[in-house]
Amino acid sequence: SISMPQQYCSLSLVGDYKTTGRDSLVFLVDASKEMFIKGEDGEPSNFDMTMQVVRSVYTSKIINSHRDLVALVFYGTEQSKNPRNSFKHVYVYHDLDEPGAKRVQDVDALRGGKGAQLAAKTMGSGETSLGDALWCCANLYSDIKLRLSQKRLMIFTCRDEPHGGDSVKDRQARTKASDLKETGVTIDLMHLMKPGGFNVASFFRDIVSPPEDESELGLQLEPCVKLEDLQKRVRAKEQRKRAMARLNLCLGEGINVAVGIYATAVTARKQAPVRLYRETNEPVRSKTRTFHTQTGSLLLPSEIKKAQVYSKKQIVMEKDEVDAIKKFDDPGMFLIGFKPMEKLKRHHHIRPAVFLYPEEDEVKGSACLFSALLTKCSERNVFALCRCIARRNYPPRFVALVPQKEEVDEGKVQITPPGFNVIYLPFADDIRTLDPPQCPVASQIQVDKMKEIVSKLRFKYRSDAFENPVIQQHYRNLEALALDMMAPEDMEDLIMPKVDQIDGRLGPLVEEFKDLVYPFNYNPDSKPAAKQRDDVTRKKPKVEMPEEELRAHMQNGTLGKLTVAVLKEACKQFGVRTTGTKKQELIDALTERLGS
Protein backbone atom coordinates (compact mmCIF):
# COMPACT_ATOMS: atom_id res chain seq x y z
CA SER A 1 0.00 0.00 0.00
CA ILE A 2 1.02 3.61 -0.49
CA SER A 3 2.48 5.30 2.56
CA MET A 4 0.28 8.01 3.95
CA PRO A 5 1.34 11.30 5.53
CA GLN A 6 3.33 10.88 8.72
CA GLN A 7 1.46 10.35 11.94
CA TYR A 8 3.94 12.56 13.73
CA CYS A 9 3.11 16.08 12.66
CA SER A 10 5.91 18.55 11.97
CA LEU A 11 5.02 21.89 13.50
CA SER A 12 7.06 24.93 14.39
CA LEU A 13 8.76 24.73 17.76
CA VAL A 14 8.69 27.22 20.57
CA GLY A 15 12.02 28.97 20.32
CA ASP A 16 15.13 27.82 18.49
CA TYR A 17 15.77 24.22 19.45
CA LYS A 18 17.81 22.71 16.65
CA THR A 19 19.08 23.78 13.28
CA THR A 20 16.37 23.64 10.68
CA GLY A 21 16.94 22.27 7.20
CA ARG A 22 16.20 19.33 4.97
CA ASP A 23 16.32 15.69 5.99
CA SER A 24 18.60 13.36 4.02
CA LEU A 25 18.68 9.58 3.73
CA VAL A 26 21.18 7.31 1.94
CA PHE A 27 20.34 3.67 1.22
CA LEU A 28 23.58 1.63 1.14
CA VAL A 29 22.61 -1.78 -0.25
CA ASP A 30 24.75 -4.92 -0.44
CA ALA A 31 24.81 -6.24 -4.04
CA SER A 32 26.60 -9.52 -3.31
CA LYS A 33 25.33 -12.83 -4.69
CA GLU A 34 24.01 -13.86 -1.27
CA MET A 35 21.46 -11.02 -1.43
CA PHE A 36 19.83 -12.49 -4.56
CA ILE A 37 19.12 -15.96 -3.11
CA LYS A 38 15.37 -16.53 -2.92
CA GLY A 39 13.78 -17.56 0.34
CA GLU A 40 11.87 -20.72 1.10
CA ASP A 41 8.32 -21.31 -0.19
CA GLY A 42 8.70 -18.69 -2.90
CA GLU A 43 9.62 -15.87 -0.49
CA PRO A 44 11.31 -12.88 -2.19
CA SER A 45 15.06 -12.51 -2.02
CA ASN A 46 16.67 -10.07 0.41
CA PHE A 47 17.55 -7.80 -2.52
CA ASP A 48 13.93 -7.77 -3.74
CA MET A 49 12.62 -6.98 -0.26
CA THR A 50 15.11 -4.12 0.00
CA MET A 51 14.00 -2.65 -3.33
CA GLN A 52 10.35 -2.79 -2.24
CA VAL A 53 11.23 -0.90 0.94
CA VAL A 54 13.27 1.68 -0.99
CA ARG A 55 10.35 2.23 -3.34
CA SER A 56 7.98 2.63 -0.40
CA VAL A 57 10.21 5.29 1.16
CA TYR A 58 10.54 7.10 -2.19
CA THR A 59 6.76 7.33 -2.65
CA SER A 60 6.31 8.29 0.99
CA LYS A 61 8.84 11.11 0.63
CA ILE A 62 7.16 12.38 -2.54
CA ILE A 63 3.83 12.62 -0.73
CA ASN A 64 4.94 13.81 2.70
CA SER A 65 8.20 15.72 2.32
CA HIS A 66 9.24 16.07 -1.31
CA ARG A 67 12.08 18.46 -0.45
CA ASP A 68 14.01 15.81 1.47
CA LEU A 69 17.09 14.32 -0.19
CA VAL A 70 17.41 10.58 -0.88
CA ALA A 71 20.23 8.51 -2.42
CA LEU A 72 20.65 4.84 -3.42
CA VAL A 73 24.16 3.32 -3.42
CA PHE A 74 25.17 -0.31 -4.01
CA TYR A 75 28.42 -1.83 -2.72
CA GLY A 76 30.06 -5.15 -3.50
CA THR A 77 29.37 -4.68 -7.22
CA GLU A 78 31.50 -5.70 -10.19
CA GLN A 79 30.96 -2.43 -12.05
CA SER A 80 31.82 0.96 -10.56
CA LYS A 81 29.92 4.22 -10.94
CA ASN A 82 30.47 7.10 -8.54
CA PRO A 83 31.60 10.74 -8.65
CA ARG A 84 35.08 10.91 -10.17
CA ASN A 85 35.10 7.06 -10.18
CA SER A 86 37.36 7.11 -7.14
CA PHE A 87 36.07 3.91 -5.56
CA LYS A 88 35.98 0.43 -7.05
CA HIS A 89 33.00 -1.90 -6.55
CA VAL A 90 30.71 1.01 -5.51
CA TYR A 91 27.77 1.90 -7.74
CA VAL A 92 25.87 5.15 -7.08
CA TYR A 93 22.46 4.41 -8.58
CA HIS A 94 20.90 7.69 -7.34
CA ASP A 95 22.85 10.58 -5.86
CA LEU A 96 21.46 12.78 -3.09
CA ASP A 97 18.52 14.65 -4.58
CA GLU A 98 14.78 15.10 -4.23
CA PRO A 99 12.76 11.95 -5.09
CA GLY A 100 10.64 11.93 -8.23
CA ALA A 101 8.66 9.73 -10.59
CA LYS A 102 11.76 8.83 -12.65
CA ARG A 103 13.56 7.48 -9.57
CA VAL A 104 10.55 5.37 -8.58
CA GLN A 105 10.53 3.86 -12.07
CA ASP A 106 14.27 3.14 -11.78
CA VAL A 107 13.72 1.25 -8.53
CA ASP A 108 10.73 -0.61 -10.01
CA ALA A 109 13.03 -1.87 -12.74
CA LEU A 110 15.17 -3.64 -10.09
CA ARG A 111 12.27 -5.56 -8.51
CA GLY A 112 11.33 -9.17 -9.13
CA GLY A 113 13.07 -11.70 -11.34
CA LYS A 114 13.62 -9.26 -14.21
CA GLY A 115 15.04 -6.76 -11.73
CA ALA A 116 17.59 -9.29 -10.51
CA GLN A 117 18.66 -9.92 -14.12
CA LEU A 118 18.95 -6.18 -14.77
CA ALA A 119 21.01 -5.71 -11.60
CA ALA A 120 23.35 -8.54 -12.61
CA LYS A 121 23.74 -7.03 -16.07
CA THR A 122 24.15 -3.41 -14.93
CA MET A 123 26.17 -3.78 -11.72
CA GLY A 124 27.07 -7.43 -11.14
CA SER A 125 28.55 -8.81 -7.93
CA GLY A 126 32.22 -8.45 -7.04
CA GLU A 127 34.58 -7.69 -4.19
CA THR A 128 33.41 -5.82 -1.12
CA SER A 129 34.98 -2.84 0.60
CA LEU A 130 32.53 -1.27 3.01
CA GLY A 131 35.10 1.39 3.90
CA ASP A 132 35.15 2.64 0.30
CA ALA A 133 31.35 2.60 0.20
CA LEU A 134 31.12 4.68 3.37
CA TRP A 135 33.77 7.06 2.00
CA CYS A 136 31.72 7.46 -1.18
CA CYS A 137 28.61 8.25 0.89
CA ALA A 138 30.62 10.84 2.85
CA ASN A 139 31.48 12.51 -0.47
CA LEU A 140 27.79 12.57 -1.42
CA TYR A 141 27.07 14.50 1.77
CA SER A 142 30.00 16.88 1.33
CA ASP A 143 28.89 17.75 -2.22
CA ILE A 144 25.53 19.02 -0.92
CA LYS A 145 25.58 22.77 -0.35
CA LEU A 146 22.13 22.87 1.30
CA ARG A 147 21.63 22.97 5.04
CA LEU A 148 20.72 19.51 6.33
CA SER A 149 18.89 18.99 9.62
CA GLN A 150 19.17 15.19 9.67
CA LYS A 151 21.69 12.93 7.98
CA ARG A 152 20.93 9.20 8.07
CA LEU A 153 22.54 6.22 6.34
CA MET A 154 20.92 2.77 6.25
CA ILE A 155 22.94 -0.36 5.45
CA PHE A 156 21.03 -3.33 4.00
CA THR A 157 22.95 -6.61 4.05
CA CYS A 158 22.68 -10.30 4.95
CA ARG A 159 26.42 -10.75 5.56
CA ASP A 160 27.69 -10.24 9.11
CA GLU A 161 31.32 -10.43 7.91
CA PRO A 162 31.36 -8.59 4.56
CA HIS A 163 35.16 -8.76 4.21
CA GLY A 164 35.51 -12.44 5.04
CA GLY A 165 37.81 -11.77 8.00
CA ASP A 166 40.12 -9.27 6.22
CA SER A 167 41.33 -7.22 9.21
CA VAL A 168 42.69 -4.37 7.05
CA LYS A 169 39.33 -3.75 5.34
CA ASP A 170 37.52 -4.13 8.67
CA ARG A 171 39.73 -1.47 10.24
CA GLN A 172 39.23 0.89 7.27
CA ALA A 173 35.45 0.49 7.48
CA ARG A 174 35.44 1.20 11.23
CA THR A 175 37.57 4.30 10.72
CA LYS A 176 35.37 5.69 7.97
CA ALA A 177 32.19 4.91 9.95
CA SER A 178 33.64 6.82 12.91
CA ASP A 179 34.41 9.80 10.62
CA LEU A 180 30.82 9.77 9.31
CA LYS A 181 29.34 9.70 12.81
CA GLU A 182 31.54 12.61 13.86
CA THR A 183 30.04 14.69 11.03
CA GLY A 184 26.51 14.04 12.34
CA VAL A 185 25.54 11.06 10.16
CA THR A 186 23.45 8.40 11.91
CA ILE A 187 24.28 4.90 10.63
CA ASP A 188 21.59 2.22 10.97
CA LEU A 189 21.88 -1.49 10.17
CA MET A 190 18.93 -3.14 8.44
CA HIS A 191 20.31 -6.67 8.61
CA LEU A 192 18.44 -9.45 6.85
CA MET A 193 18.12 -13.13 7.70
CA LYS A 194 20.67 -15.59 6.38
CA PRO A 195 21.29 -19.30 7.03
CA GLY A 196 22.97 -19.73 10.38
CA GLY A 197 21.74 -16.41 11.76
CA PHE A 198 23.23 -12.89 11.75
CA ASN A 199 25.82 -12.00 14.39
CA VAL A 200 25.78 -8.22 14.86
CA ALA A 201 28.61 -8.28 17.39
CA SER A 202 31.17 -9.78 15.00
CA PHE A 203 31.67 -6.63 12.89
CA PHE A 204 28.74 -4.20 12.65
CA ARG A 205 28.59 -3.40 16.37
CA ASP A 206 31.36 -0.83 15.83
CA ILE A 207 29.89 0.45 12.54
CA VAL A 208 26.33 1.44 13.43
CA SER A 209 25.32 4.33 15.66
CA PRO A 210 24.12 3.49 19.19
CA PRO A 211 20.32 3.13 19.59
CA GLU A 212 18.54 6.43 20.09
CA ASP A 213 16.58 5.02 23.03
CA GLU A 214 16.32 1.79 25.00
CA SER A 215 13.30 0.57 23.06
CA GLU A 216 15.39 0.25 19.88
CA LEU A 217 18.01 -2.09 21.36
CA GLY A 218 15.97 -5.20 20.57
CA LEU A 219 15.36 -4.04 17.02
CA GLN A 220 19.07 -3.76 16.30
CA LEU A 221 19.87 -7.29 17.48
CA GLU A 222 17.15 -9.24 15.64
CA PRO A 223 17.44 -9.69 11.85
CA CYS A 224 14.49 -9.11 9.53
CA VAL A 225 12.84 -12.23 8.13
CA LYS A 226 9.76 -10.87 6.37
CA LEU A 227 9.06 -7.83 4.24
CA GLU A 228 6.65 -6.45 6.86
CA ASP A 229 9.39 -6.60 9.52
CA LEU A 230 11.82 -4.72 7.30
CA GLN A 231 9.24 -2.07 6.39
CA LYS A 232 8.34 -1.58 10.03
CA ARG A 233 11.98 -1.13 11.06
CA VAL A 234 12.79 1.28 8.23
CA ARG A 235 9.66 3.32 8.92
CA ALA A 236 10.51 3.55 12.63
CA LYS A 237 14.00 4.83 11.81
CA GLU A 238 13.12 7.01 8.82
CA GLN A 239 10.17 8.83 10.38
CA ARG A 240 11.46 11.71 12.41
CA LYS A 241 9.40 12.32 15.54
CA ARG A 242 9.21 16.09 15.80
CA ALA A 243 7.69 17.81 18.80
CA MET A 244 4.75 20.15 18.38
CA ALA A 245 6.23 22.22 21.20
CA ARG A 246 8.89 22.00 23.89
CA LEU A 247 7.91 23.50 27.22
CA ASN A 248 8.83 23.57 30.88
CA LEU A 249 6.50 21.75 33.26
CA CYS A 250 6.62 23.82 36.43
CA LEU A 251 5.98 21.64 39.49
CA GLY A 252 6.67 24.42 41.97
CA GLU A 253 8.91 27.39 42.54
CA GLY A 254 12.27 26.63 40.91
CA ILE A 255 11.31 23.04 39.91
CA ASN A 256 11.01 22.74 36.13
CA VAL A 257 10.88 19.62 33.97
CA ALA A 258 11.62 19.96 30.25
CA VAL A 259 8.94 18.17 28.25
CA GLY A 260 7.96 17.78 24.61
CA ILE A 261 4.41 17.64 23.24
CA TYR A 262 3.90 15.07 20.47
CA ALA A 263 0.90 14.23 18.30
CA THR A 264 0.84 10.44 18.18
CA ALA A 265 -2.11 10.28 15.78
CA VAL A 266 -3.13 12.90 13.23
CA THR A 267 -5.95 12.70 10.72
CA ALA A 268 -4.48 12.05 7.25
CA ARG A 269 -5.89 14.43 4.65
CA LYS A 270 -5.37 15.06 0.97
CA GLN A 271 -2.82 17.73 0.29
CA ALA A 272 -4.21 21.07 -0.80
CA PRO A 273 -4.16 21.62 -4.59
CA VAL A 274 -1.49 23.96 -5.97
CA ARG A 275 -2.50 26.75 -8.32
CA LEU A 276 -0.47 26.87 -11.53
CA TYR A 277 -0.05 29.50 -14.22
CA ARG A 278 -1.93 28.29 -17.28
CA GLU A 279 0.81 28.94 -19.87
CA THR A 280 3.96 27.81 -18.01
CA ASN A 281 2.60 25.50 -15.25
CA GLU A 282 4.60 27.46 -12.68
CA PRO A 283 3.17 27.71 -9.15
CA VAL A 284 1.22 30.91 -8.57
CA ARG A 285 1.61 32.84 -5.32
CA SER A 286 -1.32 34.84 -3.98
CA LYS A 287 -0.80 38.31 -2.52
CA THR A 288 -3.33 40.35 -0.58
CA ARG A 289 -3.53 44.15 -0.70
CA THR A 290 -5.72 46.33 1.51
CA PHE A 291 -7.31 49.48 0.06
CA HIS A 292 -9.19 52.37 1.62
CA THR A 293 -12.94 51.90 1.07
CA GLN A 294 -13.53 55.58 0.18
CA THR A 295 -10.36 56.84 -1.52
CA GLY A 296 -9.17 53.54 -3.01
CA SER A 297 -5.59 54.22 -1.92
CA LEU A 298 -3.29 51.37 -0.94
CA LEU A 299 -2.93 50.96 2.81
CA LEU A 300 0.42 50.07 4.36
CA PRO A 301 0.57 47.67 7.33
CA SER A 302 1.51 50.57 9.61
CA GLU A 303 -1.65 52.43 8.58
CA ILE A 304 -4.02 49.62 9.58
CA LYS A 305 -5.34 49.80 13.13
CA LYS A 306 -7.64 47.61 15.18
CA ALA A 307 -10.50 48.98 17.25
CA GLN A 308 -13.07 47.83 19.78
CA VAL A 309 -16.28 49.69 20.70
CA TYR A 310 -16.49 50.07 24.48
CA SER A 311 -18.89 52.34 26.38
CA LYS A 312 -20.05 54.06 23.16
CA LYS A 313 -16.44 54.87 22.22
CA GLN A 314 -14.24 53.33 19.56
CA ILE A 315 -10.95 52.37 21.20
CA VAL A 316 -8.12 52.26 18.63
CA MET A 317 -5.14 50.04 19.45
CA GLU A 318 -1.69 49.48 17.99
CA LYS A 319 -0.49 46.01 16.97
CA ASP A 320 1.84 45.80 19.97
CA GLU A 321 -1.04 46.65 22.27
CA VAL A 322 -3.20 43.91 20.73
CA ASP A 323 -0.38 41.39 21.20
CA ALA A 324 0.05 42.49 24.81
CA ILE A 325 -3.69 42.02 25.44
CA LYS A 326 -3.55 38.50 24.00
CA LYS A 327 -0.53 37.50 26.08
CA PHE A 328 -1.43 35.90 29.41
CA ASP A 329 1.95 34.41 30.32
CA ASP A 330 5.07 32.85 28.87
CA PRO A 331 4.70 29.41 27.23
CA GLY A 332 4.77 26.52 29.68
CA MET A 333 2.80 24.11 31.82
CA PHE A 334 2.02 25.00 35.41
CA LEU A 335 0.90 22.32 37.88
CA ILE A 336 -2.28 23.20 39.78
CA GLY A 337 -2.90 19.94 41.64
CA PHE A 338 -4.04 16.35 41.39
CA LYS A 339 -7.49 14.81 41.00
CA PRO A 340 -8.77 11.20 41.22
CA MET A 341 -9.26 9.57 37.83
CA GLU A 342 -13.01 9.17 38.41
CA LYS A 343 -13.31 12.97 38.29
CA LEU A 344 -12.30 12.92 34.62
CA LYS A 345 -15.45 12.24 32.60
CA ARG A 346 -15.85 11.04 29.04
CA HIS A 347 -17.55 14.29 27.94
CA HIS A 348 -14.48 16.27 29.08
CA HIS A 349 -12.67 15.02 25.95
CA ILE A 350 -13.36 17.85 23.48
CA ARG A 351 -10.39 17.61 21.07
CA PRO A 352 -7.67 15.09 20.14
CA ALA A 353 -5.22 14.42 22.94
CA VAL A 354 -1.44 14.83 22.62
CA PHE A 355 1.41 13.02 24.35
CA LEU A 356 3.89 14.38 26.89
CA TYR A 357 7.44 13.02 27.09
CA PRO A 358 10.57 14.34 28.90
CA GLU A 359 13.34 16.18 27.05
CA GLU A 360 16.55 15.23 28.84
CA ASP A 361 18.70 17.24 26.41
CA GLU A 362 17.02 20.48 27.47
CA VAL A 363 17.21 20.15 31.27
CA LYS A 364 19.32 17.45 32.89
CA GLY A 365 17.38 15.30 35.31
CA SER A 366 14.04 15.86 33.56
CA ALA A 367 13.66 12.17 32.68
CA CYS A 368 14.25 11.05 36.28
CA LEU A 369 11.78 13.51 37.83
CA PHE A 370 9.25 12.89 35.05
CA SER A 371 9.47 9.13 35.63
CA ALA A 372 8.93 9.57 39.38
CA LEU A 373 5.86 11.75 38.78
CA LEU A 374 4.48 9.24 36.26
CA THR A 375 4.99 6.31 38.64
CA LYS A 376 3.28 7.99 41.59
CA CYS A 377 0.32 9.17 39.48
CA SER A 378 -0.15 5.61 38.20
CA GLU A 379 0.12 4.06 41.66
CA ARG A 380 -2.39 6.46 43.22
CA ASN A 381 -4.70 6.49 40.17
CA VAL A 382 -4.73 10.28 39.86
CA PHE A 383 -4.20 12.76 37.03
CA ALA A 384 -2.34 16.06 37.18
CA LEU A 385 -4.33 19.23 36.52
CA CYS A 386 -2.26 21.89 34.77
CA ARG A 387 -2.57 25.26 33.07
CA CYS A 388 -0.99 25.05 29.61
CA ILE A 389 0.15 27.81 27.27
CA ALA A 390 1.50 26.02 24.21
CA ARG A 391 2.98 29.01 22.34
CA ARG A 392 3.53 32.72 22.62
CA ASN A 393 0.30 34.76 22.61
CA TYR A 394 -1.76 31.55 22.93
CA PRO A 395 -4.65 31.65 25.41
CA PRO A 396 -4.25 29.39 28.45
CA ARG A 397 -6.04 26.04 28.58
CA PHE A 398 -6.64 23.66 31.43
CA VAL A 399 -5.32 20.17 30.71
CA ALA A 400 -5.38 16.82 32.48
CA LEU A 401 -2.16 14.78 32.42
CA VAL A 402 -3.32 11.16 32.40
CA PRO A 403 -0.51 8.65 33.16
CA GLN A 404 0.23 5.90 30.65
CA LYS A 405 2.42 2.91 31.49
CA GLU A 406 4.87 1.31 29.11
CA GLU A 407 3.76 -1.86 27.32
CA VAL A 408 6.05 -4.33 25.51
CA ASP A 409 5.32 -7.45 23.48
CA GLU A 410 6.83 -10.92 23.80
CA GLY A 411 9.98 -9.80 21.99
CA LYS A 412 10.53 -6.94 24.46
CA VAL A 413 9.67 -4.42 21.74
CA GLN A 414 7.84 -1.35 22.98
CA ILE A 415 4.18 -1.12 21.96
CA THR A 416 3.03 1.77 24.14
CA PRO A 417 5.53 4.38 25.40
CA PRO A 418 5.49 5.66 28.99
CA GLY A 419 4.31 9.23 29.47
CA PHE A 420 1.27 11.42 30.00
CA ASN A 421 -1.69 11.79 27.69
CA VAL A 422 -2.65 15.48 27.62
CA ILE A 423 -6.45 15.83 27.69
CA TYR A 424 -7.71 19.35 26.92
CA LEU A 425 -10.50 20.20 29.35
CA PRO A 426 -13.56 22.31 28.53
CA PHE A 427 -14.37 25.65 30.15
CA ALA A 428 -17.72 26.18 31.85
CA ASP A 429 -18.97 28.00 28.72
CA ASP A 430 -18.24 24.93 26.59
CA ILE A 431 -20.54 22.59 28.51
CA ARG A 432 -24.15 22.67 27.29
CA THR A 433 -27.37 21.44 28.81
CA LEU A 434 -29.04 19.14 26.30
CA ASP A 435 -32.68 18.18 26.08
CA PRO A 436 -32.51 14.70 24.55
CA PRO A 437 -35.54 13.52 22.56
CA GLN A 438 -37.86 11.02 24.17
CA CYS A 439 -37.42 7.59 22.56
CA PRO A 440 -39.15 4.27 23.23
CA VAL A 441 -37.41 2.23 25.91
CA ALA A 442 -36.28 -1.26 24.86
CA SER A 443 -37.59 -4.21 26.81
CA GLN A 444 -35.26 -6.59 28.61
CA ILE A 445 -35.93 -9.33 26.02
CA GLN A 446 -34.88 -6.98 23.20
CA VAL A 447 -31.76 -5.98 25.12
CA ASP A 448 -30.76 -9.60 25.73
CA LYS A 449 -31.23 -10.44 22.05
CA MET A 450 -29.01 -7.51 21.00
CA LYS A 451 -26.37 -8.67 23.49
CA GLU A 452 -26.26 -12.00 21.67
CA ILE A 453 -25.76 -10.22 18.35
CA VAL A 454 -22.99 -8.01 19.73
CA SER A 455 -21.17 -10.98 21.29
CA LYS A 456 -21.19 -12.77 17.91
CA LEU A 457 -19.68 -9.76 16.06
CA ARG A 458 -16.92 -8.84 18.51
CA PHE A 459 -13.34 -8.69 17.19
CA LYS A 460 -10.06 -7.17 18.27
CA TYR A 461 -9.83 -3.70 16.72
CA ARG A 462 -6.51 -2.24 15.56
CA SER A 463 -6.52 1.22 14.05
CA ASP A 464 -3.48 0.47 11.87
CA ALA A 465 -5.36 -2.40 10.20
CA PHE A 466 -7.76 -0.08 8.35
CA GLU A 467 -6.61 2.36 5.69
CA ASN A 468 -8.65 5.35 4.59
CA PRO A 469 -10.04 4.21 1.20
CA VAL A 470 -10.57 7.75 -0.11
CA ILE A 471 -6.98 8.82 0.53
CA GLN A 472 -5.55 5.49 -0.65
CA GLN A 473 -7.42 5.76 -3.95
CA HIS A 474 -6.41 9.41 -4.34
CA TYR A 475 -2.69 8.68 -4.05
CA ARG A 476 -2.94 5.58 -6.21
CA ASN A 477 -4.47 7.72 -8.95
CA LEU A 478 -1.68 10.28 -8.60
CA GLU A 479 0.93 7.53 -8.68
CA ALA A 480 -0.57 6.07 -11.87
CA LEU A 481 -0.47 9.49 -13.56
CA ALA A 482 3.10 10.23 -12.45
CA LEU A 483 4.50 6.82 -13.45
CA ASP A 484 2.52 6.54 -16.73
CA MET A 485 0.75 3.40 -15.52
CA MET A 486 -2.14 2.01 -17.55
CA ALA A 487 -4.39 1.94 -14.46
CA PRO A 488 -3.93 2.50 -10.73
CA GLU A 489 -3.29 -0.46 -8.45
CA ASP A 490 -6.34 -2.29 -7.16
CA MET A 491 -7.37 -1.33 -3.66
CA GLU A 492 -9.42 -3.29 -1.16
CA ASP A 493 -11.87 -1.20 0.85
CA LEU A 494 -11.34 -2.62 4.33
CA ILE A 495 -14.04 -0.55 6.01
CA MET A 496 -16.87 -2.14 4.04
CA PRO A 497 -18.76 -4.75 6.09
CA LYS A 498 -18.15 -8.40 5.21
CA VAL A 499 -21.77 -9.31 4.69
CA ASP A 500 -21.30 -13.03 4.08
CA GLN A 501 -19.13 -13.46 7.16
CA ILE A 502 -21.59 -11.48 9.30
CA ASP A 503 -24.55 -13.54 8.08
CA GLY A 504 -22.66 -16.76 8.81
CA ARG A 505 -21.91 -15.69 12.36
CA LEU A 506 -25.37 -14.39 13.23
CA GLY A 507 -27.56 -17.01 11.59
CA PRO A 508 -31.23 -16.51 12.61
CA LEU A 509 -30.47 -13.90 15.30
CA VAL A 510 -31.19 -10.96 12.98
CA GLU A 511 -34.68 -12.17 12.07
CA GLU A 512 -35.41 -12.95 15.71
CA PHE A 513 -34.39 -9.44 16.70
CA LYS A 514 -36.58 -7.91 13.97
CA ASP A 515 -39.58 -9.90 15.17
CA LEU A 516 -39.04 -8.57 18.70
CA VAL A 517 -38.60 -4.92 17.71
CA TYR A 518 -40.69 -4.20 14.59
CA PRO A 519 -44.49 -4.68 14.31
CA PHE A 520 -46.06 -7.29 12.05
CA ASN A 521 -45.90 -6.53 8.29
CA TYR A 522 -43.49 -3.64 8.90
CA ASN A 523 -41.89 -2.38 5.67
CA PRO A 524 -38.77 -0.23 6.20
CA ASP A 525 -38.81 0.91 2.54
CA SER A 526 -42.26 2.48 2.75
CA LYS A 527 -42.33 6.27 2.93
CA PRO A 528 -43.79 7.89 6.05
CA ALA A 529 -47.08 9.70 5.72
CA ALA A 530 -46.70 13.32 4.66
CA LYS A 531 -47.39 15.90 7.31
CA GLN A 532 -50.51 18.00 6.78
CA ARG A 533 -49.72 21.54 5.73
CA ASP A 534 -51.42 24.54 7.27
CA ASP A 535 -54.10 26.20 5.19
CA VAL A 536 -52.30 29.50 5.40
CA THR A 537 -48.80 29.44 4.00
CA ARG A 538 -46.41 30.75 6.56
CA LYS A 539 -44.25 33.59 5.43
CA LYS A 540 -41.13 34.92 7.00
CA PRO A 541 -41.99 37.93 9.13
CA LYS A 542 -40.54 41.12 7.77
CA VAL A 543 -37.73 42.36 9.96
CA GLU A 544 -38.33 46.04 10.63
CA MET A 545 -37.12 48.39 13.33
CA PRO A 546 -38.29 51.92 14.20
CA GLU A 547 -35.81 54.72 13.60
CA GLU A 548 -35.82 55.74 17.29
CA GLU A 549 -34.82 52.23 18.38
CA LEU A 550 -32.11 52.08 15.73
CA ARG A 551 -30.69 55.44 16.84
CA ALA A 552 -30.71 54.24 20.44
CA HIS A 553 -28.65 51.21 19.45
CA MET A 554 -26.22 53.48 17.61
CA GLN A 555 -25.79 55.82 20.60
CA ASN A 556 -25.30 52.91 23.00
CA GLY A 557 -22.80 51.21 20.67
CA THR A 558 -24.90 48.03 20.48
CA LEU A 559 -25.47 47.82 16.72
CA GLY A 560 -23.19 44.81 16.72
CA LYS A 561 -25.79 42.83 18.69
CA LEU A 562 -28.29 43.04 15.81
CA THR A 563 -28.36 40.29 13.22
CA VAL A 564 -27.21 40.78 9.64
CA ALA A 565 -30.81 40.36 8.43
CA VAL A 566 -32.00 43.22 10.67
CA LEU A 567 -29.13 45.45 9.55
CA LYS A 568 -29.82 44.74 5.87
CA GLU A 569 -33.52 45.57 6.30
CA ALA A 570 -32.60 48.78 8.13
CA CYS A 571 -30.34 49.81 5.25
CA LYS A 572 -33.19 49.25 2.78
CA GLN A 573 -35.62 51.07 5.06
CA PHE A 574 -33.51 54.25 5.24
CA GLY A 575 -32.10 54.06 1.70
CA VAL A 576 -28.51 53.44 2.79
CA ARG A 577 -26.14 52.21 0.07
CA THR A 578 -23.49 49.70 1.22
CA THR A 579 -20.24 48.58 -0.39
CA GLY A 580 -20.60 45.05 0.94
CA THR A 581 -22.76 42.67 2.93
CA LYS A 582 -20.49 42.03 5.88
CA LYS A 583 -21.82 42.97 9.30
CA GLN A 584 -19.19 45.62 10.04
CA GLU A 585 -19.73 47.26 6.61
CA LEU A 586 -23.49 47.47 7.29
CA ILE A 587 -22.86 48.99 10.73
CA ASP A 588 -20.43 51.58 9.30
CA ALA A 589 -22.92 52.57 6.58
CA LEU A 590 -25.81 52.97 9.04
CA THR A 591 -23.65 54.92 11.51
CA GLU A 592 -22.57 57.33 8.77
CA ARG A 593 -26.16 57.78 7.52
CA LEU A 594 -27.89 58.23 10.87
CA GLY A 595 -25.09 60.21 12.47
CA SER A 596 -25.16 62.94 9.78
Active-site amino acid positions: 18
By C-alpha distance, which of 408, 430, 425 is closest to 417?
408
DSSP 111-178: SHHHHHHHHHHHT------HHHHHHHHHHHHHT--S-EEEEEEEEEES-S-TTTT-HHHHHHHHHHHH
| φ, ψ at 403 (rounded to 5°) | -70, 145
3-state helix, strand, coil in the chain (%, to 5): 35, 20, 45
Torsion, Cα of 97, 102, 106, 109 (10° steps): 160
Side chain identity, residue 519: P
By C-alpha distance, which of 403, 404, 401, 369 is closest to 385?
401
Per-residue buried b or exposed e for 254-269, using 16+ beta carbons within 10 Å of the residue's own CB: eebbbbbbbbbeeebe
Alpha helices in 216-365 (DSSP H): 217-221, 227-238, 319-326
CA dist 219 and 412 (Å) reads 9
Q: Is the separation of the CB atoms in 107 and 52 below 8 Å?
A: no
CA dist 171 and 338 (Å) reads 57
CA dist 545 and 533 (Å) reads 31
∠ CA 264-270-275, nearest 5°, is 135
Residues ≥6 apart with Cβ < 8 Å to 584: none
CA dist 29 and 31 (Å) reads 6
